[in-house]
């Protein structure tokens, strides 16, 4: 019976990690968010190597709802509402898009390099972007501060939340490891967009 219980628990966790449901993603969350916590936010930022070319934005709830509404279908809206997202733009054009539910899960984290996506630069997209009609200007319209932070060839937007802090951290580290491997740091602007104000309202 014990062996069956362990197998069942692993199965449930795998579902939670791989599901594109925001609700299920939150169930797997390490932390329950009741509001934006500035102290915890600053502690997380302090863990990141600040020698890197980083910019920071704290999204409010209405801004993130506008991001979700960039989608034209329910599937696109669902993807754009995922807790952790990585978007690669070359100038204005979306070239690669990654979301937490398309990275393989383990008991404690996600493998963002699923199918060796991050073994090249620009990483191979996880989400089919052929019909996804979004570009960097759409995000600049929502987050005007981005206008002064996209002066390089590549712009990477990383949406993250303390709801899934360990997985957020691994996503950021994966991005910078890839940039370093292919010597693209000087050509790339990386902007971290925190969405705690939105996800703290999701019950």
CA 30 – CA 162 distance, rounded (Å): 8
Residue 6: predicted pLDDT: 45
Q: Are 33 and 199 in contact (CB under 8 A)?
A: yes
Q: What are the structural domain ranges in the chain? A: 2-199
State how far the Cα of 84 lies from the Cα of 61, in Å rounded to an integer: 15
Mean pLDDT by 10 residues, the chain (203 residues): 46 48 51 90 87 86 97 95 96 97 82 95 96 95 89 95 93 96 95 96 75
Question: What is the predicted pLDDT for the residue at 30?
Answer: 62
Run of H or E including 38: helix 38-47
pTM, full prediction: 0.86
Length of the chain: 203
Cα–Cα distance, 132 to 52 (Å, whole number) = 30
For residue 21, the model assigns a pLDDT of: 57
Please report the pLDDT score of residue 154 as a whole number: 96
Q: What's the half-sphere exposure (Cβ side, CA atoms, 13 Å) at 200?
A: 15
pLDDT at 82: 94
């Amino acid at each position: 019976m014990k062996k069956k219980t362990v197998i069942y628990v692993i199965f449930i966790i795998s579902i939670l990690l791989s599901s594109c449901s925001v609700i299920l993603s939150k169930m797997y969350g390490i932390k329950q968010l009741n509001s934006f916590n500035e102290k915890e936010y600053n502690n997380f930022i302090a863990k990141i190597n600040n020698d890197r070319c980083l910019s920071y934005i704290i999204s409010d709830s209405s801004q993130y709802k506008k991001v979700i509404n960039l989608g034209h279908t329910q599937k696109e809206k669902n993807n754009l509402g995922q807790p952790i997202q990585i978007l690669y733009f070359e100038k204005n054009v979306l070239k690669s898009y990654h979301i937490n539910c398309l990275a393989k899960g383990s008991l404690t984290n996600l493998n963002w390099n699923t199918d060796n996506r991050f073994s090249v630069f620009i990483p191979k997209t996880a989400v089919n972007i052929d019909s996804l009609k979004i570009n960097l200007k759409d995000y600049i319209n929502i987050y005007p501060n981005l206008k002064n932070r996209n002066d390089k060839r590549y712009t990477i937007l990383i949406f993250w939340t303390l709801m899934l802090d360990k997985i957020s951290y691994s996503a950021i580290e994966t991005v910078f490891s890839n940039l370093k491997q292919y010597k693209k740091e000087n050509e790339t602007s990386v902007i971290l967009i925190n969405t705690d104000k939105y996800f703290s309202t999701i019950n």
